[in-house]
Structures are given as C-alpha cells and as structure tokens.
Amino acid sequence: MNDGRYRAALIGLGRIADTIDDEVIGDGWLVPFSHMGSYMDVPEVQVVGAADLYAEQREAFGERWTIPDTHLYENYEEMLEREKPDIVSICTSAAPRAKITLDIVRMVRERRTDVKCIWVEKPMATSLEEADAMVEGCREAGIILMMNAMRASDVYYRRARALIDEGVLGKMLQITAHGSGSLSHMGVHWLGAMCVLAGENERVSWVVGEVESDEKAAGDADLAGNAYLAFENGARGFCRMLPSAASTWTLDAIGEHGTIHLRNANDGYEFELWKMGKVTDDAPATPVRHIFPRPQRIWSAGVGQVKDAINCIETGKTPNCSGDMGRHLLELAIAIRESHRRGNVRVDLPLPDRSLYIRSAETLSGDTPRALVNPMRRRPAHLISDIARREGIGKRRPVS
Ligand SMILES: NC(=O)c1ccc[n+]([C@@H]2O[C@H](COP(=O)([O-])OP(=O)(O)OC[C@H]3O[C@@H](n4cnc5c(N)ncnc54)[C@H](O)[C@@H]3O)[C@@H](O)[C@H]2O)c1
C-alpha cells in the first residue's frame, strides 16, 4: 500500500464507498466522489483495510483496487483491531451507522484501536437519540466526527463562504433553495448547503414546514416537503423539496449588498455573483453580474473532505460538516415534519423529544447492497461518459 502517514479504512463497500464514480462520470460532478477514490487522491493517506458483510462486495472492491484478501474483512471490529486506522469511513446505510460508530468509540476507549476521525455518510442516523449518542460518544472519546454533507468541503462553496466572510455580500438576509427528494436522505444536501451559505455552518433556531401529505406526515418513512427556516444569525431561508422542475438544484444566497446564485448546483458549477452597480455615475443602481472569482486549486468535494479530516486531526479545527451539524440536519428534517403534524406551526430547535426519528429513504428497502439489487446501476453508457473515459477520467490506480 502507498506511503501515506494516515491510515484509512472503510466500512460498507457499495456505491458511495466506490462505485458512485461510475454513475457520475462525465457529468458536472468532479470525481472522485467516492470515499475510496477520494482517499486515493490524497497522498498523505494509505488505505489499510475495508469491511463489508457481503463477500461479493468485498471481492468486487478488492479486485478494483487490488487490495489483497488479507486486508478485506467481514467483521469490522477485527479490521479496526488489526489495521489500526486513523480515519474510518462508515459507508453503510443510516440503519447500522450509530451502532458502528459506538462500537468504534468503545474500542477506542478499550484501547483496542486508535481511530482519530470517523467520516460518516449521510443522513447521520435515523433517530435523534442515535445522533446524540454518536456526537456525545465521539466527543468523550476524543474522536473527530464528520458527516458527508460534502458541499461543506466543495472548493466553490468554500470560495463563496470566504467571499461572504470578507463581507462581499454584506449581512446575510435570505437563503432560498429549490431541491428535490426526501427531507432526510436528500435534505441533508440542501439544508446543509443552506447552513454553509447562511454562516459558517449557521444553525436554525426555528422552522415552519409543510410535507407532501398528512398521511406521509403521520408515518415514519422519509418524505418530501417545504420549509421556512429562521437562522440564528437573523437570516431567513426557504427550502423547497417538493418537485421543482427545471429550477431544481438552484440556490440563492442573498446579502445586503449582493447575491450568489447557484444554478444546477447538483452536478454543475454555475456560480454567479451579482452586486448592485451603475451603468453611469448618474444612473440608478441595478443588479450587475460579476464573474465569480473561481477557486484556483480545484479538487472534488470528497477530496476536500479527506483534506479537512487531516486538517482537523492536525490542528483541532472543527470539521466543515461536523457530527454536530449532521445531527442538526437530521433534526431539521424531523422538525419540518413535526411542524406539519402540528398544523404547520413554528417548531423551535432543539427538539425536546429525542425519540423522534425518520427512516431515511435509502433504509426503506433493507440493507442488501444496491449492486446486488440492481447490478446495471454501475455503468451508465452515454456519449459524455464515454468521452470522459477516453480522456482517462475515473481510471483507477491500483493500491500499491
Ligand atoms: N453523500 C452522498 O452524496 C451520497 C451518495 C450516495 C449514497 N450516500 C449514502 O451512503 C450510504 C450508503 O449508500 P450506498 O448507495 O453506497 O449503498 P450500498 O448498498 O451500495 O452500500 C452499502 C454497503 O454497506 C454494507 N453494510 C451494511 N451493513 C454493514 C455492516 N454492519 N458492516 C459492514 N458493511 C455493511 C452493505 O453490505 C453494502 O455493501 C447511504 O446512507 C446513502 O445515503 C451518500
């Protein structure tokens, strides 16, 4: 394996651990998107082990990355004890996430392993109790917990954040997002992006929500909805997660002096900066588009997350998307549903009832690996992905 000074390991070897790069290749996403691909692009990291319950998943993963069988595990506790990783990715669905996190916490406390940072997929958990236990357990054991609402580490969002911090937009007034999908599973990305643009991981103090139906609101399965958000710093937000047609995946971050528009912000990087300006000195001020000052060094959001993990380990900084923020995003999804349940009223955060939960969308069909449910999902064949492959994009380097 290569000579990185940080040892990484992965638990759950499916799409987001690896094969998602095959799905997005050639579109607007910067790859690597996957955890494994992202680790491979950061020279300070060497991947020392990988675990999955399914032999098929372990074999496919080992073959892609030339990882010897001796570093592939069915039992993640055995892997953690033998490989002693510094950073661990938990890439299972949300269902076993809290248990796995707390198993790592216990093993660190028992000095059976020495994990410094856990990078969990989204959503963080299904219930607030689970999320509380994850945040508290990691805090007490001195483990950094970060969650993969990865726009927080995207270089364009970081650039937008830096511009806002420097006062280019003035005081933040409003964040408006048109997303799509369910509140817990996909809302993490939209609500997370809104929190990044409102402030440095600005938190929401209260919400008013409406979800797709009373019937859905009464259940515990993931669901779509809209919400009005009151951020702690006084900014306000509106998030549409009901269908948004061609406006889907757009965001407006509106400040007193300017606006950052994000167009097609799921798989494109159309960042626009608008400020008030005058055509002539005596003309009234009108909105003027400026070139968004693009970041000079570009890497994928996944690579940004790995770099952030290292930065957190070395400097003690808080992750761009911390476990605490991951819990807040879960709490927001639940609060939007609670608002609807109570007649679309204001709901204050934090929620006192920690037993509340949402079964996030990806947990609803069980924990059979997606590749075994739908093997065709791995490789979309279209002209753009073919061109990208010819350009060598997404070519995997073997682990040496
Ligand atoms: N950040 C993103 O944009 C993004 C994108 C895709 C998926 N995800 C998230 O990633 C998570 C996984 O989704 P996926 O599509 O990769 O699923 P997947 O089914 O492809 O992979 C999950 C893997 O976890 C394994 N697993 C489950 N329980 C385990 C355990 N106890 N020990 C070891 N392995 C275990 C399964 O066998 C499977 O191989 C989901 O929570 C999903 O929301 C995030």
Residue 49 lies in a domain: yes
Cα(172) to ligand 1 centroid in Å equals: 36
The continuous run of DSSP H or E covering 207 comes out as strand 204-211
What was the pLDDT predicted at 28?
Answer: 81
Pocket test for ligand 1, best of 29, 92, 134, 320 (most atoms within 8 A of CB): 92
Cα(91) to ligand 1 centroid in Å equals: 4
pLDDT greater at residue 29 or residue 208: 208
What was the pLDDT predicted at 1?
Answer: 47
Pocket test for ligand 1, best of 61, 93, 303 (most atoms within 8 A of CB): 93
What was the pLDDT predicted at 14?
Answer: 97
| CATH code where residue 346 lies | 3.30.360.10
- Do 232 and 279 reside in the same domain of the chain? yes
Residue 50 in contact with ligand 1 by CB distance below 6 A: no
CA separation (Å) from 387 to 22, 70, 221, 380? 13, 36, 39, 12
| CATH code where residue 55 lies | 3.40.50.720
376 pLDDT more than 70? no
> How many domains does the chain divide into?
2
Question: pLDDT digit string (tens) for 216-262?
Answer: 999 999 999 999 999 999 999 999 999 999 888 899 999 999 999 99
What was the pLDDT predicted at 81?
Answer: 98
d(CA 263, CA 251): 7
What was the pLDDT predicted at 398?
Answer: 63
Residue 303 lies in a domain: yes
296 pLDDT more than 70? yes
pLDDT greater at residue 14 or residue 30: 14
166 pLDDT more than 90? yes
- Do 93 and 217 reside in the same domain of the chain? no
Cα(15) to ligand 1 centroid in Å equals: 7
- Do 373 and 305 reside in the same domain of the chain? no
Residues in contact with 257: Cβ distance below 8 Å, sequence separation at least 6, in sequence order: 168, 169, 170, 275, 276
Residue 397 lies in a domain: no
Average confidence (pLDDT) over 39-67 = 96
Average confidence (pLDDT) over 371-387 = 76
Residue 59 in contact with ligand 1 by CB distance below 6 A: no
d(CA 171, CA 153): 22
Residue 102 lies in a domain: yes
Pocket test for ligand 1, best of 24, 61, 104, 121 (most atoms within 8 A of CB): 121
Question: pLDDT digit string (tens) for 168-206?
Answer: 999 999 999 998 899 999 999 999 999 999 998 899 999
Residue 400 lies in a domain: no
Q: Which of helix, strand or coil describes residue 359?
A: strand
- Do 158 and 143 reside in the same domain of the chain? no
Pocket test for ligand 1, best of 183, 362, 364 (most atoms within 8 A of CB): 362
Average confidence (pLDDT) over 366-378 = 82
Residue nearest to atom 43 of ligand 1 (CA): 122
Q: Which of helix, strand or coil describes residue 214?
A: helix
- Do 128 and 158 reside in the same domain of the chain? no
DSSP state of 397: P
265 pLDDT more than 80? no
- Do 124 and 31 reside in the same domain of the chain? yes
Question: pLDDT digit string (tens) for 94-121?
Answer: 999 999 999 999 999 999 999 999 999 9
- In percent, the amount of the chain with pLDDT more than 70 equals 97
- Do 104 and 199 reside in the same domain of the chain? no
Cα(370) to ligand 1 centroid in Å equals: 8
Confidence of residue 47 (pLDDT cuts 50, 70, 90): very high
- Do 105 and 203 reside in the same domain of the chain? no
What was the pLDDT predicted at 338?
Answer: 98
d(CA 255, CA 101): 38
What was the pLDDT predicted at 377?
Answer: 58
- Do 105 and 157 reside in the same domain of the chain? no
- Do 136 and 204 reside in the same domain of the chain? no
- Of 25-29, 37-41, 378-382, minimum mean pLDDT range: 378-382
Chain mean pLDDT for the chain = 94
Residue 352 lies in a domain: yes
Q: Which of helix, strand or coil describes residue 190?
A: helix
Average confidence (pLDDT) over 157-177 = 97
Residue 181 lies in a domain: yes
Residue 30's domain spans which residues? 6-149+369-378
- Do 136 and 180 reside in the same domain of the chain? no
State the burial class of residue 8 (Cβ atoms within 10 Å of its Cβ: 0-12, 13-18, 19+): buried
Residue 49 in contact with ligand 1 by CB distance below 6 A: no
Residue 399 lies in a domain: no
Strand order in the sheet with 144-147: 72-73, 45-51, 6-11, 87-90, 117-120, 144-147
- Do 305 and 210 reside in the same domain of the chain? yes
Residue 11 in contact with ligand 1 by CB distance below 6 A: yes
2 pLDDT more than 70? no
